[in-house]
Structure 1
Amino acid sequence: MLGLITAIPASVRRFDTDADTAARHYGTPPAMLDDLTRRGLPCAGAEGARRYDPFDLSNLALHLGLPSIQRLAMRTWARALQLAASHRIDAATVKVLPIGADSATADPLEVLHVPIAEHARYAEGPVKALLDAWAGYRFFMLPEACRWDVGFIEQHRVCECGGASKRMLQQAHEQGLDARQCFGLLLATPFSTGHYWTEFRIDGEWVAFDPLLLDMLHAACRLDPAAWPAHRSNGAVLHRLCVIDRYDAHGAPVLDRYVDEPYVSQPLVIMDGQALAVSLPTAFGTPRPAGDEAPSPLHAPAGAPSIGA
């Protein structure tokens, strides 16, 4: 693990997290942090005042099984998949709120209403082979300088959702498969999050696949790999906001309206030309009994604003 961490260039590290924060947010006990430091975990400052890179701490917490905030969030992702697969939810409503706003009283910037309908879809043939090959990659939070670098990803076989979906799109095109990279929301309660994934055209439909995410949830959250193999679509809990069709000079996707920050940060939404940090409080709706004709409060009325398509 330390070998992969030290593969990240020293010049892109941000040493701004102290030991107390490492314990609170990343579940890293002081004794463990001291031991990792002696073994080569990069840090800055003298003993007693050391600071660490948040990406390093995030990756250690994930792969060492520490009780971090990140792991708690991932459990909500696994739970959303299970609820959708068992048809126990049929919709999601997402409020887009400025950071710090009271979810109960503040007026949202926008409200997103999303129907959820799980129909198990599995890839076959060349698409399945491509997805299964992603078992050799590991989920790793990376700074921007490495995040979109497919050469770095291939050399070290580490990436997060953005780099993974970009590399998978390249692989698909190399194999003559019809695919596209997408950005949108990974729906979960109590909060959704910005996310990237790859979609393949299968039988005339665009179907989302996310093998890196599923493999991570198998390991970190005990999501059943027999029920959720890497070649099963998790599209029921994904809401596409845009399709990526170009990249900037640094290889990062250019999004029409939405800007995704690393997982440990909140997503940004561009409103009227201004970037706003937002939270995305989310609630799931449940199917109504047969014969109950009352409209769900999560179904958008005619003309209601929503995000994306």
Structure 2
Amino acid sequence: MGYDDVGSQRLKQAVDRALVKPEWCRSYSVSPAEARTLYGVNNELVDALIGMGFPYKGRGEQVTFDPLDLENLGLDLELPSASRTAMSLWARTFKNPARLATARCAIQISWSCPVPEHTGDCGCDFTMSPRIKNQSAGLAVHDSSGWNADLDGQLSNDDHIFQDGFAALVEEAEKLHFHRLSRELAQDMDFLCEHRIADCRSASMHLAGVAAEAGLVVRQASGYFVGTPFLVPHIWLDVDVNGQWIAADPFFLQALARWGVVNPEDWPPTRSPRNVLWRIRSDHFEEPLIRHGAADVPVKLVARMSYKRCI
């Protein structure tokens, strides 16, 4: 996709949003070739970006870009990137709310030993987070590629339309623009308030304050957005409705509508996201799912949805 395909105004807005990020949060590691294959930014668009002052380092063949800058550029300009491909799968997940109401989720978690000198079935001391252990469908299995276990994902399945006081959250969420941010920048509420740019972490922290002012009782929740087949770490709000915690995510639903992933008539920002959120914790911290001794272990999560037939 080139400069003429995206329009000069949209491109300028995307570049301006990138430029408000502080330089300290950037890591220049993506070459133009990688920008083309991974983020859908072709050579013509690279030249236009450099000419407009988009953040980069180097010159000639040694130019590099920050991966989050390119990720956000792709979101703003709807470039044919890996993220857009994933979103097309998310759209299938959300397509039929009635069908989604009957969904059950099987999650496979897989990992390998993080210690280089450990090979084969080394008898490593792995432990599963107690927050998900009760969802395990059996013992972990070891093969040549590592370990894996099956989980019966307990997803949030409350269908609810929020009303009293919730309009304040929807109105405030509409003023925010979704960008992927570094962890440090996502915790900077001054950055959010000045530039109105947020990710799910910073938006949930900000909207929790708005909710309190509106008289709502809320808590932050963290876990995963189950955009089959791959899960994405996510943070949202739970709202206390008559003593029951119900998931609420007006910021993310509005972003999904802008990206064309959901139909806003089926999924208005006042609706609780149903059977797409896997809650692990009741705060905004991430939970290590597998540990090797005292160390966190990177994991791969793949989800498979099954649906009851409607009679």
Tell me the TM-score range normalised by the shorter chain. 0.7 to 0.9
Residue 42 of structure 2 corresponds to 29
Are residues 184 and 228 of structure 1, via their aligned partners in 2, closer, same or farther at CA, if it must alter by over 3 Å? same
Residue 172 of structure 2 corresponds to 133
Which of the residues 242, 245, 260 maps onto 1:203? 242
Q: Do residues 277 (structure 1) and 280 (structure 2) align?
A: no
Q: Do residues 54 (structure 1) and 54 (structure 2) align?
A: no
Contact conserved, 2:249 with 2:272, CA < 8 A, in 1?
Answer: yes
Residue 106 of structure 2 corresponds to 93
Q: Do residues 191 (structure 1) and 212 (structure 2) align?
A: no
Range that drifts further, 62-71 or 127-136 = 127-136
Contact conserved, 1:184 with 1:242, CA < 8 A, in 2?
Answer: yes
Q: Distance in 2 between matches of 1:39 and 1:151?
A: 26
Aligned length: 272
Are residues 222 and 195 of structure 1, via their aligned partners in 2, closer, same or farther at CA, if it must alter by over 3 Å? closer
Q: Distance in 2 between matches of 1:240 and 1:80?
A: 18
Residue 134 of structure 2 corresponds to none
Q: Distance in 2 between matches of 1:108 and 1:206?
A: 34
Q: Distance in 2 between matches of 1:54 and 1:87?
A: 33
Q: TM-score, normalised by structure 2?
A: 0.79
Contact conserved, 1:84 with 1:118, CA < 8 A, in 2?
Answer: no
How far residue 254 of structure 1 moved from its aligned partner, in angstroms, is 4.1
Deviation by residue 1:188-247 (Cα, 9 ceiling, x = unmatched)? 322112111111111221111112211121121342111111111104211110111xxx
Are residues 235 and 2 of structure 1, via their aligned partners in 2, closer, same or farther at CA, if it must alter by over 3 Å? same
SS at match of 1:228: coil
Contact conserved, 1:95 with 1:108, CA < 8 A, in 2?
Answer: no
Q: Distance in 2 between matches of 1:115 and 1:82?
A: 21
Q: Distance in 2 between matches of 1:93 and 1:235?
A: 16
Q: Distance in 2 between matches of 1:62 and 1:143?
A: 16
How far residue 116 of structure 1 moved from its aligned partner, in angstroms, is 5.6
Aligned residue runs from structure 1 range 290-309, under 5 A: none
How high is the sequence identity, in percent, across the aligned residues? 26
Q: Distance in 2 between matches of 1:203 and 1:238?
A: 21
Are residues 209 and 105 of structure 1, via their aligned partners in 2, closer, same or farther at CA, if it must alter by over 3 Å? farther
Q: Do residues 69 (structure 1) and 90 (structure 2) align?
A: no
Residue 196 of structure 2 corresponds to 157
Residue 307 of structure 1 corresponds to none
Q: Distance in 2 between matches of 1:23 and 1:279?
A: 26
SS at match of 1:241: strand
Aligned residue runs from structure 1 range 11-26, under 5 A: 11-26=24-39
Q: Do residues 221 (structure 1) and 260 (structure 2) align?
A: yes
Are residues 115 and 81 of structure 1, via their aligned partners in 2, closer, same or farther at CA, if it must alter by over 3 Å? farther
SS at match of 1:17: coil
SS at match of 2:44: helix
Give ranges in structure 2 of 5+ residues lacking alignment.
1-13, 114-140
Are residues 119 and 175 of structure 1, via their aligned partners in 2, closer, same or farther at CA, if it must alter by over 3 Å? closer
Q: Distance in 1 between matches of 2:80 and 2:270?
A: 28
Q: Distance in 2 between matches of 1:190 and 1:274?
A: 27
Are residues 117 and 238 of structure 1, via their aligned partners in 2, closer, same or farther at CA, if it must alter by over 3 Å? closer
Q: Distance in 2 between matches of 1:160 and 1:177?
A: 22
Are residues 72 and 11 of structure 1, via their aligned partners in 2, closer, same or farther at CA, if it must alter by over 3 Å? same
Are residues 148 and 99 of structure 1, via their aligned partners in 2, closer, same or farther at CA, if it must alter by over 3 Å? farther
Aligned residue runs from structure 1 range 211-290, under 5 A: 211-244=250-283, 253-255=284-286, 257-258=287-288, 269-287=290-308
Residue 180 of structure 1 corresponds to 219
Range that drifts further, 15-24 or 131-140 = 131-140
Residue 296 of structure 1 corresponds to none
How far residue 174 of structure 1 moved from its aligned partner, in angstroms, is 3.3
Residue 171 of structure 1 corresponds to 210
How far residue 8 of structure 1 moved from its aligned partner, in angstroms, is 0.6
Deviation by residue 1:90-109 (Cα, 9 ceiling, x = unmatched)? 21111111279x99985644
Q: Do residues 120 (structure 1) and 141 (structure 2) align?
A: no
Contact conserved, 1:88 with 1:287, CA < 8 A, in 2?
Answer: no
SS at match of 1:193: strand
Contact conserved, 1:92 with 1:116, CA < 8 A, in 2?
Answer: yes
Cα root mean square deviation, aligned: 2.7
Give ranges in structure 1 of 5+ residues lacking alignment.
245-252, 259-267, 291-309
